[in-house]
Amino acid sequence: MAVHGVDHINICTADLERCRAFYCGVLGFEEGYRPPFDSPGAWLYAGDAPLVHVSVTDTPRIGESPVDHVAFAVKGYDAMCMRLDDEGIAFESCQVPDNPTRQIFVKDPDGVDVELNFRDGT
């Protein structure tokens, strides 16, 4: 198992158009493919990498960070599951719809949500 990069940062917003205008219009990201999740949002690309994922929330996060989670690109899905089990760390896993990516969701010791993405499913 090996983390080999930052996969993306997820930002929550109550105003998708305003958020998209900033990241695309000001910073130069381009909106691109996003799997057919049940919730609304956008994936914003720098080149061919969707570095900023935007999730729509019903209520603004006033006084809270709009950064929802950090995600890392990882290899070794089975080894990571075994390691988390061995350490007694609770986690959830899922399959991204219409995509080979498998994911593990875990909290760090300070409560930060961490998403581990195994792009090729392994």
**pLDDT tens digit sequence for 41-66:** 999 998 999 999 999 988 766 677 77
Residues 44, 14: Cα–Cα separation, whole Å: 17
Residues 42, 33: Cα–Cα separation, whole Å: 8
What pLDDT is stored for residue 101 in this prediction? 94
Collect all residues with Cβ–Cβ distance below 8 Å to 42 and sequence separation of at least 6. Answer: 16, 19, 20, 31, 34, 53, 54
Query: 51 with 9: CB under 8 angstroms?
Result: yes
What pLDDT is stored for residue 109 in this prediction? 64
What pLDDT is stored for residue 59 in this prediction? 75
- Work out the number of other CB atoms within 10 angstroms of the CB of residue 104: 19
What pLDDT is stored for residue 6 in this prediction? 85
Residues 25, 33: Cα–Cα separation, whole Å: 18
Residues 46, 49: Cα–Cα separation, whole Å: 6
Residue 110 has pLDDT above 70, yes or no: no
What pLDDT is stored for residue 50 in this prediction? 94
pTM as predicted: 0.70
Q: Which CATH class name applies to 2-118? A: alpha beta
